[in-house]
Structure 1
Amino acid sequence: MAWKRILGIDASRTTMAHPTGVERYARAVIRALIPLAETEGVQLRLYFRDPPPHGLFPDSPWVEHRVLSFPRLWTHLRLSWEMARHPPTALFVPAHVIPPYHPPSAVTIHDLGYRYFPQTHPLLQRLYLDLSTRWSAAVARVVFADSQATRADLIRFYRVRPEKIAVAYPGYDPPPVPTDPESILHRFRIQRPYIISVGTIHPRKNFSLILQVIARRIAKGWEGQVVIVGKPGWPDPAFERLSRDPIWAGRLIRTGYADDESRGALLSQAEAFLFPSLYEGFGFPVLEAQACGVPVLCAPNGSLREVAGEGALLLPPDDPDPWVEALDRLACDPGFRAALIARGHANRKRFSWEACARTIWESLRELLRL
């Protein structure tokens, strides 16, 4: 009888009610790995901290759910204890930290932005990010990086052996665009024209540059709004200071977290999508915007040059003038606007969860000794 291979996966981040980038990544990668595991007769054992909602993952005789309820230090104590008592053949951690006790393991490290912008993180959080990333990169048999930029950072900052790192570009889930978006715009008190950006409120997102750009357009007579879609994260003093200017009364709309349908409606109706982030490990909002048919202007930092490809205008994150000029051209040159949208559609087709999972699976096969 053949020895039964079991791939354990830390699925603890998949049950969050309002998932952002890494949580969406964990859900999508696990879903895409299921058929690959079934084909090769590998049991997937998913570890949860909270009971997963019905239908989170497809039903399959090859997928087992284990809910390990524990109030604090779930990874370091409860998951580690489970690995010691009932170890799988290998463990994959797509969106968190490898536990202290573990079988042969693989981990996805999404970005090292805290190394570039330490001042944008509270001290204790920065220390935890550094220690946990250093630990996972050191003990993992395989490290998956979302981009070549993150791969280079792992080599630079943590001296991870290059042959140990596999770049597995994430896919993306295009938000649905409703046939009648008016009710969603009305709910958020948004009127056309408007420009939009998506991301957790954080100094690293550089939202203050967007306000500088649009303030200059307003001074030239542009009448429109700025829409920021994202839940609060860390205080951004520059953004908050600029947003108190009286010119933003009725013009600056902060939606907070928006579900997929709302995000699709808001993106699809925007004049342009601006993403001047100072660093991104990947940059899902860029692909979402391209899928929704909105012109994308973004900074070239971190992985954004890789992700945006030819489907965006890459502009400096510290100078508002090129952004103003680009928006002015988009407004008065329909051919230029259409070409940029078309390039965005072509670019986003390079990314899929199926391709991401196949890259990951090839390395996991070695850990499972298939």
Structure 2
Amino acid sequence: MARKAPLFINGKFISAGPTAVHRVALELVKALAPLISDRELCLLVPPGLAQLAHGPGIQTHPVGGLKGNAWEQISLPWHARGGVLLNLCNRSPLVLRNGLTLLHDAQAFTAPRSYAFAGRLAGQWQARAAGRRQLGLLTVSDFAKSELVGLGLAPAERVHVIPNGADHVLRAPPQTELLARLGLAPRGYALALANLMPHKNIPLLIRAFARPALAGMTLVLVGGTGRAAFAAAGVTAGANVVFPGYVNDGEMRALQENALAVCTPSLTEGFGLPPVEGLMLGTPAVIAPCGALPEVCGPGALQADPHDPSAWEAALLRLRDESGLRARLARDGRAFVARFTWHAAGRRLLEVVDTVAPG
């Protein structure tokens, strides 16, 4: 059987920071490699990145003499001629036709206050170009698909859902030393990501933990946004809010496994990896009934009004005090999210590629 056209991947994400979007891209690349036998798989990267992100079956090729956005817009499409180019981090060459772009959400359109003006316009422009010119769009949930279709970026038959995996959290052994260092008791704290983007709605959690009934419980906010940044934004975190900063995978697993709950009060999410990761490890979620969160958390979550701190207080107190509730949510949630594996995501991605670009 003749080999199909090569599958190229936009490797610009390798030079970026450790965000969820970039984690998804790397995991998809690693999942694709062992599944492909009838076409070449090649990660195209800017100059100087040849030694990064290698894996079995992955060829990494530095191409072109440009860097940054100029590399993505000029060098990348030139070197991806004759194949199919996958763009896994929302952005892609404006002139591209022989490719697919993964839009993780529609937030450049639906949550404009979360993005700087120039970045928002660039995201909207690139999303429209991808939907109009390319072989199709990829996204991560039925909710995200409905938004992309509703915005007119592409018709429903050209938007393909590839749910994220979450089983990467099972790889790194838990490093529980962090809990002792932070003075955290198992089930004595709730976990969330530290973020000041308005749609993430984290100040709501801080207000909930200022309520007297939660004075004995800790809120752990992980990530690069610290207490001072929240204070500068007018959000004062109490003494029961802890900011450990960035943590490695083993430390994050320890925090997720031992938390009372993973909290996600977002006003919109295209997927929502943190609560699904927690459920994969047997920790229930408390979520806002918004975006894709109910879709991806299923029976493993309590839902709380994203505008009412008392609703989050009540949900966390139920998890702490109501006999059997946490165990039931953990059991049902873990069974529900078992479908979210990177192997399944890779297989689905390859099915889409073979459908839209079979030759």
TM-score, scaled to structure 2: 0.90
Which residue among 155, 161, 169 is the counterpart of 1:161? 155
- Distance (Å, rounded) in 1 between the aligned partners of 2:261 and 2:356: 45
Seen in structure 2, the aligned counterparts of structure 1 residues 272 and 96 have a Cα distance that, compared at 3 Å, is: closer
Counterparts of residues 65-76 of structure 1 (less than 5 Å)? 65-68=60-63, 70-73=66-69, 74-76=71-73
Aligned Cα root-mean-square deviation (Å):
2.5
Q: Which residue of 2 aligns with 1:331?
A: 320
2:329 to 333, 340, 343: 340
1:320 to 2:309 alignment: yes
Could you tell me how far 1:148 is from its partner in structure 2?
A: 0.9
- 2:253 paired residue among 264, 267, 272: 264
Q: Which residue of 2 aligns with 1:284?
A: 273
Give the direction of change, closer, same or farther, for the CA distance of 1:336–1:100 in structure 2 (3 Å limit).
Answer: closer
Q: Deviations over 1:69-103 (max 9, x none)?
A: 533422112213334xxx13211111142313435
Query: What is the 5 A alignment of 1:83-102?
Result: 83=80, 87-102=81-96
Q: Is the 8 A contact 1:202 1:232 kept in 2?
A: no
Query: 1: CA distance between counterparts of 2:34 and 2:331?
Result: 32
Q: What is the CA distance between 1:141 and its match in structure 2?
A: 0.8
1:8 aligns with 2:8: yes
Residue aligning to 1:47: 44
**Residues 342 and 3 of structure 1, relative CA distance in 2, 3 Å threshold:** closer
* Residues 97 and 133, structure 2, Cα contact 8 Å, conserved in 1: no
Partner of 1:151: 145
* Shift in Å, 1:189: 5.1
Aligned residue pairs, count? 354
TM superposition outliers: structure 1 runs of 4+ over 6 Å: 235-239
Question: Aligned partners of 2:47 and 2:245: how far apart in 1?
Answer: 25
Question: Does the 8 Å contact 1:175/1:260 carry over to 2?
Answer: no
Q: Deviations over 1:290-325 (max 9, x none)?
A: 122222100121111111111111222111222222
The CA deviation string for residues 337-361 of structure 1, in whole angstroms up to 9 with x for no partner, is 1111111211210211121122221
Q: Distance in 1 between matches of 2:172 and 2:74?
A: 43
Q: Give matches, 1:177-256, under 5 Å.
A: 178=173, 181=176, 183-188=177-182, 190=184, 193-198=188-193, 200-216=195-211, 219-220=212-213, 222-232=215-225, 240-243=233-236, 248-249=238-239, 251-256=240-245
1:56 to 43, 53, 56: 53
- Residues 175 and 258 (structure 1), Cα distance of their counterparts in 2 relative to 1, 3 Å cut: farther
Q: What amino acid is the match of 1:47?
A: L
How far apart are residue 201 of structure 1 and its match?
3.8
The letter for the 2-side match of 1:299 is A
Change (3 A) 1:346 1:52: farther
Deviations 1:224-276 (A, max 9, x none): 3211012239x9879942325xxx13x22112222111111111222222110
Query: What is the CA–CA distance in structure 2 between the aligned matches of 1:328 and 1:164, rounded to whole Å?
Result: 44
- Give SS of 2:77's match: helix
Q: For the Cα contact (< 8 Å) 2:51–2:60, is it kept in 1?
A: no
**Could you tell me how far 1:34 is from its partner in structure 2?**
1.2
Look up the SS of the partner of 1:258 in the other structure. coil
Contact (CA 8 Å) 2:86, 2:101: kept in 1 or not? yes
Which residue of structure 2 lines up, in the alignment, with residue 37 of structure 1? 36
The CA deviation at 1:67 is 1.1
Asked if the contact 2:175/2:251 (under 8 Å) is kept, the reply is no
d(CA) in 1 for partners of 2:343 and 2:10? Answer: 19
State the alpha-carbon separation in 1 of the partners of residues 253 and 304 from structure 2. Answer: 24
Task: Tell me the equivalent position of 2:262.
Answer: 273
TM-score by length of 1: 0.87
How far did 1:50 drift?
Answer: 5.5
The equivalent residue for 2:27 is: 28
Return the match for 1:133 from 127, 133, 138: 127
CA distance in structure 1 between the partners assigned to 2:109 and 2:6 by the alignment: 35
